[in-house]
Structure 1
């Protein structure tokens, strides 16, 4: 499903609006010419005549056309288009980087340069695809972040403007008034039932598309947590974050219809990136229906999909960190790999203050590990050499596993690092790059799950998996879940709250 396909099918789009189909939220935005308001297709407050309907592929495009966000359905807060999560073309890569606040830090020209395009080329591509250029897209994101902070925290407005990425209070006031038809103070006054953050923390609610199955997602993150860098505490997955302007921490807790995200950052300018990384770690921008439909077409997987619909792919908030930890975890148990990662963080990672729990360190940067003493790496000699070679490649920019990278190039570059084989590449592609079609066919858990379901192994399993494309990373979650491994279950203390 994509915007152009939806718009080209008038019956489908009209049925979605008439049926208030939430599956279309984030894919397309409905604007009403008579009210100058734009909404989600599922908005319960709008039934416009067809002649008053206009459709846009992004909130930014609707705002750029002069429409303001509906105060009831809050279309700007809907999960973003899932297309940016599974595509690897330049527009998808640009959207992922904009989501991390690259335009706020480096400008639209900096974004274009990072993607290897001229600004004019990039603007033309984005306008054709999403109806707005990088500056307008970043402006819409700043407005949405601002509203979230205004309504959910007690931060002074000046700090809200700063955290949302605005260059001045004047620009902040103007954009909020344009997009929401009221002042920042009025937005805060009208907010009802908001959770006010305190003690230096910022508490937000992260939206996702239903259905949402948290068991393997949080179970895996908790089971693989490296003490000091990550932990499971009080029903939340907590971890440290390496951010552009200083360290931070995030606590992610499953709630009724949302993920509660409690952030602490050294610099408020890093809020946008911190939120983007948390969303990516939990695969919150996914459209669960697309992989479910593809996988359920296989008779062997259909019962598993029906039993636990909405599985997500557990990822890491930091791509380079996971790439190195994937090498550390070659051919050893998850717990052993986590212990080694914790030891490296204690020796080479930067210290972090955590008034809420037991987080003490950032995982070491590639630069720090590239200079590590091999004697301090508790692993076999070949794996030591691979960790150091990969750390140097990441530090020097010869390998990139960030959100703006082309996945095919990343795989090619990873394959050039001695000791990084197909299993490691596919695990990095799945959990660091976010490729929904990553498929570690030789993973022990995949092999066991496939054997249990009588799907074959090796070439036979690879051939069977072709029908699951481009959602094989989601198939992996169901294959892993066919066993009773602890990573497939939420810790008991939070089962009752989800």
Structure 2
């Protein structure tokens, strides 16, 4: 870490660095986010940690005022493709709680010792400590936003025992679970950037605020999701994007509504143990851990993109909550209109999806699993024969794990695997890399909308020439695509009116 730069960020209370690092104060024994409103300590009393888990392991407790656990995650874990970044994405998705450290190591293809050594070297904490820090934040969220009995809450947050739950909460927050709940009832901090309750507390439903780094342009983010929504699993209703989620212990319905300071996330969970995973997938879907200042600074330096960045800064890349689902939908959408792609996907959902109940809207199903789709007769799909063959080949490859699209997967290996599937070309590969894998440098040079925008901006329009011209945009070409798409008059570029 650049200690001098960290000190300057803390003294300026610069919220852009929230999540990048944590500041521990030797004289108080607490750790804070850089933007903590308290009077900055003297530089000689500051210690800096790359993760909350590292600060906790060093014996510091979380600040009650700035709530350092409720900040956007470090953008590094979404920008990088190395072992540590892949591990952090999987930990955020709850893999350690479900499969333990051996399961995490196996998924990444490393030994437990190699994994622990690399995480300790970069983050100052091993996978168990990182998962424990996340578990503590989930516990706090459940304590403050539900009326669950503490024993039930402990297991829902992923703790093996009530004793471990009590000890962790006391150690991390310097308050007992009951004291945290009492404090949350007595004092609600308006405008707090953390995950706070914003509505009534009802069984099975939790409302949280998802923080992000400003600026954020919601137009293309929510507009894209709404315009491409598949009936039955997605909808735009009452100013929110709603969809069903398939989760490790059950399913959920989520409503995501943009607000100036946060995104409101209303989750109806069939099993509260899935809270951490659900929140992580919603953040991933909306690209909320991005660093828009860094992205826009580089793209805005290009004379062709500068006016677009200045007009609507903070564009994010709309992603997915289920990589396999998105890959199948991408193949269905090859060489057809957005409306036709939605219709094809809706037929699959209605026929092969798992029914769910949505008391607040019109959602009816979960997207079909690859195993369910593997059993269908391709001849029943109302699409060209070549497209049917491509869908069948992709489903087979996903089921056999010949194509791996996990959130912690290797981006280049996944590209190579996808390219081997008959009927999948560069457009589909890069689209999946951008929206399912989260590669910030994915670039759909063959996309018609991108090529039209290039012509309008005086850029080369052939894929090879445009790819060469895009070199200065690296490693943010997926974000450049969002700015290029925004030049067209298409529903993906604006919020729905309803």
TM-score normalised over the length of structure 2: 0.96
SS at match of 2:470: helix
1:178 equivalent in alignment to 2:183:
no
The Cα offsets for residues 293-350 of structure 1, whole Å up to 9 and x where unpaired, read as 1100101111111111111000111100000000000011111101111110111111
Q: Which residue of 139, 146, 150 corresponds with 1:146? A: 139
**1:17 deviation in Å?**
1.5
> In the alignment, what sits opposite 1:245?
249
The Cα offsets for residues 388-430 of structure 1, whole Å up to 9 and x where unpaired, read as 1100111111111111100010001111111111000000001
> In the alignment, what sits opposite 1:481?
486
SS at match of 2:354: coil
1:262 equivalent in alignment to 2:266:
yes
Equivalent runs, 1:63-462 vs 2, <5 Å: 63-191=56-184, 192-193=187-188, 194-195=197-198, 196-458=200-462, 459-462=464-467
Q: Contact (CA 8 Å) 1:153, 1:203: kept in 2 or not?
A: no
Structure 1 runs of 4+ with >6 Å offset: none
Q: Which residue of 1, 23, 32 corresponds with 1:30? A: 23
SS at match of 2:313: coil
**1:24 deviation in Å?**
1.2
Measure the CA separation in 2 of the matches of 1:238 and 1:79. 22
How many aligned residue pairs are there?
486
Q: Which residue of 460, 469, 486 corresponds with 1:464? A: 469
**1:253 deviation in Å?**
0.8
**1:155 deviation in Å?**
2.7
SS at match of 1:492: coil
> In the alignment, what sits opposite 1:41?
34
Measure the CA separation in 2 of the matches of 1:396 and 1:188. 46
**1:199 deviation in Å?**
5.0
Q: Contact (CA 8 Å) 1:328, 1:383: kept in 2 or not?
A: yes
Measure the CA separation in 2 of the matches of 1:110 and 1:148. 26
TM-score normalised over the length of structure 1: 0.96
Structure 1 alignment gaps of length 5 or more: 494-498
> In the alignment, what sits opposite 2:43?
50
Structure 2 alignment gaps of length 5 or more: 189-196
Measure the CA separation in 1 of the matches of 2:255 and 2:428. 28
Q: Contact (CA 8 Å) 1:253, 1:261: kept in 2 or not?
A: yes
Change (3 A) 1:53 1:94: same
> In the alignment, what sits opposite 2:191?
none
SS at match of 2:69: helix
Measure the CA separation in 2 of the matches of 1:119 and 1:351. 39
SS at match of 1:31: strand
Q: Contact (CA 8 Å) 2:138, 2:157: kept in 1 or not?
A: yes
Measure the CA separation in 1 of the matches of 2:440 and 2:59. 35
SS at match of 1:260: strand
Measure the CA separation in 1 of the matches of 2:156 and 2:453. 45
Measure the CA separation in 2 of the matches of 1:103 and 1:462. 39
Q: Contact (CA 8 Å) 1:370, 1:389: kept in 2 or not?
A: no
Change (3 A) 1:345 1:462: same
**1:99 deviation in Å?**
0.3
> In the alignment, what sits opposite 1:496?
none
Measure the CA separation in 2 of the matches of 1:49 and 1:200. 45
Q: Contact (CA 8 Å) 1:38, 1:75: kept in 2 or not?
A: yes
> In the alignment, what sits opposite 1:61?
54
